[in-house]
Structure 1
Amino acid sequence: MYVPRTRQFWAVSLSHFALDVIMSSIPVLLTFVSLYVLPLSAVQFGLIVGLMQLMGAVTQPMFGWLTDRVGGRWTGSIGLGWTAGMLLMALLAAESGQLLLMAFVIVITALGSGAFHPVGMKYAAESHPPREASNMAWFFLSGQMGLAFGPALVGLLLENAVPVGNAFGAALGSGLAGLLQERGTALPAVWISLLSLPGLFLILMYLPGHRAHRAAVAAGKEQTRGNKARAPLSVGVLLIFLVMVSLRSLGSPGVVSFIPFLFQQKGWTPAEYGLIASSFWVGSGLAGVFFGGLADRYDRRLVIAISMLLSAPTFFLLPLTDGVPAFVLAILAGTLSGASHGLIVVLAQGFLPASKALASGAALGLVFGTGALGSAFIGWLAGIIGLGPSFQLVAGAIVISGLMTMLLPAQARPAEAAAEVLPARSSQGEVKA
């Protein structure tokens, strides 16, 4: 099995892991804050998370444009450092009781994510051009592992920060149960920001600065001169793609941010609802490489559609379960819904083969942007009909999205990809598949 080995690749991939640990910890952190520090409704929770995700999505094209001109060393390192620093500021705002300030800082934390992702995708793909697709799959895997690790880690850090005053009050009897009040503290979560330090070092060491970047751009223009092929992309196909991705994003990442909130309402501890959120992302991360291999062999649309249709029942049943079955469903939901994440980017690249960087950024921005709007919508909807029924309505949207995938035009595999699918032994004796 191919595993990337270049320093440039691992600089951006390890940084991707650290950044997504921080970003994925925020919904768990907000869940804890809403219960023990600053009260938050489902509507407020959804609005904060949604605006944060939207900020990261809409700024990616701008930072991608900047990276194309100045290189990724400073854009990537500042983006990662900004994310870690803003987490600390958000924790301080929560501790001081400043709800609006905390919400504002959390939202602008996503500027760091918007800055880093174009850098990461660019240099992961370019670290070994003959293996661009494989490099991208591993790059996304590192991020998904960060998404899986973050909620569990912050849940464990906050486990001992839960106040015990209410428990003592309850022991005194119903007449005195409300007399003892104690606030929790979210400050232990600050330790996860330290995970950014190795990534910062690697980016500064191994990503090109402005001068080296300009030299690489000049060399690349000579190699790609005259390659201006256009893909047959009609308005109808574009609209189908936009609606399909938007409905799919209601599930992941839209409703996923509410998994900690859902199980906190069932009485789970921070460690428990952090762990179930992590279990979703573990399934999602491992699925990408496997389903990517299937998409190399079969119709990409069919692989996406089947994975989405199979994921819908897991989202529908998740609010109805508790205990071990809930963990099983969360893993299945992550595995089946996460399978389409990287494949959506591949579909977009197929529509614009001469502008793959633009297609990748636009597709990822669309996923995150519609997921952000979806989080805000789900928070509003949960305030009206409840969080459980909101999960079940999202399951219906995922079914529609999966069916719409088959309305997109089929894409022929490139000759190189087709050759990779055929088992062939390399000069080193490795079997390629």
Structure 2
Amino acid sequence: MKTNPNPQSAAVSASQTVYPILFAISISHLLNDLIQSVIPAIYPLLKENYVLSFTQIGIITLIFQLTASILQPFVGLYTDKHPNPRSLAIGMFLSLAGLLCLAFASNFYYILASVSLIGMGSSVFHPEASRVAHMASGGKKGLAQSIFQVGGNAGSAAGPLLAALIVVPFGQKYIGWFGVMAVIGMIVLTFVGNWYQQNLHLKASKKPTGTATEGQLTLSRKKVVTSIVILLVLIFSKYFYMASMTSYFTFYLIDKFQISVQQSQFYLFAFLASIAAGTILGGPLGDRYGRKLIIWVSILGAAPFTLMLPHVGLTMTIVLAIFIGLIISSAFSAILVYATDLIPGKVGLVAGLFFGFAFGMGGVGSAILGWLADKTSIEYVYQVCAYLPLIGIITGFLPNIEGTKKKKKAVNP
């Protein structure tokens, strides 16, 4: 294995925040999620071209999200023991292949095969990319995770906008132009992979940080497992609600307010852009005020706005959607870093588990909500989903591990 010829400079990189790598991995996350976001962005086009039901739309999302979720914990567990810096570019290549197949898919089953390739690319990318962000954090784990996450959310926001400008006016085959993004991503990830390769020995020699270990030592195994379950339930509430927005918000706006497909894509962009803006706040605020507080405010705090959304006009719907995006988006970075503090030394496994579960809940949610929309109405879906953020109240059962660590350090200076 190749080692860094200058161990002293490598030690510096382990103790300092490596911003060029964080920004590079954030840009690659932007490109990865931009490609992914093309899928829901073209749902109105696919629905019209292939005469699909809402249930079939939900199945497309389910297949994409399941291939993006089931593999992630296994990829994370494997790469914790056998890291592969080249897997980042390999994941982006799989997404490129799926994107090109989607551009020329001629029926529902080809569409499913195409989105599954994009999902597999995502499942390879996220665990290793999260590990790189963790390695380059220099101890600022919340900030590093937010920089990484905001790239993905910015890409998710840009996808529908570009789809509205490129795919909707010109047709399905123009999806292939997004392949340029995948090629750029492979180039960026090759650069990141080279840095990762040179710093692998730091990962091997680096022990879990003192604060994380101390925090864990004060908790029983049962308490850690219970806390992980609570975090996964919170992920369920967040991503079930997010599924209603990313997959069906355009249909909701078109059905209720009789606007055009292109207008609905611009409004979806506004919602997704608010998510990108909110994400960058979650990590640093968690570092400063405690991740439990940020998780609580982020999920439960969105409830008043989600409860109002189904009962207002178009302008207020967009305003409320933006507020919901800003608030609810800050949760994931805080949840992920909180989980890595609970289980130190298992960044790949934790990232794979939580990214995978998030994608899985998004897929299952989309399928169930699509079925519900066919049986009732798209408006009824939003009336039901409005109550999901209330589940955030269970955050109160999480242990205050930041307070535990501070107390431990005071006893053992």
TM norm structure 2: 0.84
**2:250–2:264 contact (8 Å) kept in structure 1:** yes
Select which of 220, 226, 229 maps to 1:232: 220
Shift of 1:107: 2.7
Shift of 1:132: 3.2
Write the distance in 1 (CA, Å) between the matches of 2:76 and 2:34: 22
Aligned residue number for residue 177 of structure 1: none
- Matched residue type, 2:220: P
- Matched residue type, 1:291: G
Shift of 1:205: 3.0
Unaligned runs of 5+ in 2: 1-15
Write the distance in 2 (CA, Å) between the matches of 1:298 and 1:6: 23
Aligned residue number for residue 111 of structure 1: 120
- Matched residue type, 1:25: V
- Matched residue type, 1:247: S
For residues 27-106 of structure 1, the aligned pairs below 5 Å read 27-35=40-48, 37-68=49-80, 71-93=83-105, 96=106, 98-106=107-115
**2:87–2:124 contact (8 Å) kept in structure 1:** yes
Aligned residue number for residue 397 of structure 1: 388
Select which of 181, 200, 209 maps to 2:186: 200
Change (3 A) 1:233 1:111: same
Write the distance in 2 (CA, Å) between the matches of 1:240 and 1:352: 15
Structure 2 counterpart SS, 1:406:
helix
**1:276–1:330 contact (8 Å) kept in structure 2:** no
Q: How many residues align?
A: 385
Aligned residue number for residue 244 of structure 1: 234
Write the distance in 1 (CA, Å) between the matches of 2:304 and 2:144: 32
Aligned residue number for residue 122 of structure 1: 131
For residues 34-433 of structure 1, the aligned pairs below 5 Å read 34-35=47-48, 37-68=49-80, 71-93=83-105, 96=106, 98-161=107-170, 185-208=171-194, 213=197, 216-224=199-207, 231-234=219-222, 235-253=225-243, 255-265=245-255, 266-399=257-390, 401-413=391-403, 414=405
Write the distance in 2 (CA, Å) between the matches of 1:157 and 1:219: 44
Write the distance in 2 (CA, Å) between the matches of 1:390 and 1:292: 31
Write the distance in 2 (CA, Å) between the matches of 1:403 and 1:226: 30
Is 326-335 or 244-253 further displaced after alignment? Answer: 244-253
Write the distance in 1 (CA, Å) between the matches of 2:208 and 2:285: 33
Aligned residue number for residue 19 of structure 1: 32
Shift of 1:72: 4.3
Shift of 1:361: 2.6
Aligned residue number for residue 429 of structure 1: none
Shift of 1:369: 1.8
Write the distance in 2 (CA, Å) between the matches of 1:19 and 1:92: 20
Shift of 1:376: 1.4
Shift of 1:133: 2.8
**2:98–2:116 contact (8 Å) kept in structure 1:** no
Residue deviations 1:306-335 (CA, integer Å, cap 9, x gap): 332332243344344454333212211111
Residue deviations 1:147-184 (CA, integer Å, cap 9, x gap): 111111101113423xxxxxxxxxxxxxxxxxxxxxxx
Residue deviations 1:50-93 (CA, integer Å, cap 9, x gap): 22112111111232244445544421112112212211211211
Shift of 1:237: 3.7
- Matched residue type, 1:411: I
Structure 1 counterpart SS, 2:76:
helix
Unaligned runs of 5+ in 1: 162-184, 420-433
**Does 1 or 2 have the higher relative contact order (CA < 8 Å, sep 6+)?**
2
Aligned residue number for residue 166 of structure 1: none
Aligned residue number for residue 422 of structure 1: none
User: Percent identity of the aligned residues?
Assistant: 24
Change (3 A) 1:223 1:309: closer
Write the distance in 2 (CA, Å) between the matches of 1:315 and 1:144: 20
Shift of 1:16: 0.8
**2:275–2:328 contact (8 Å) kept in structure 1:** yes
**2:142–2:333 contact (8 Å) kept in structure 1:** no
Write the distance in 2 (CA, Å) between the matches of 1:226 and 1:367: 26
TM norm structure 1: 0.80
Residue deviations 1:338-384 (CA, integer Å, cap 9, x gap): 12121111221232234344323322222222222111111122222
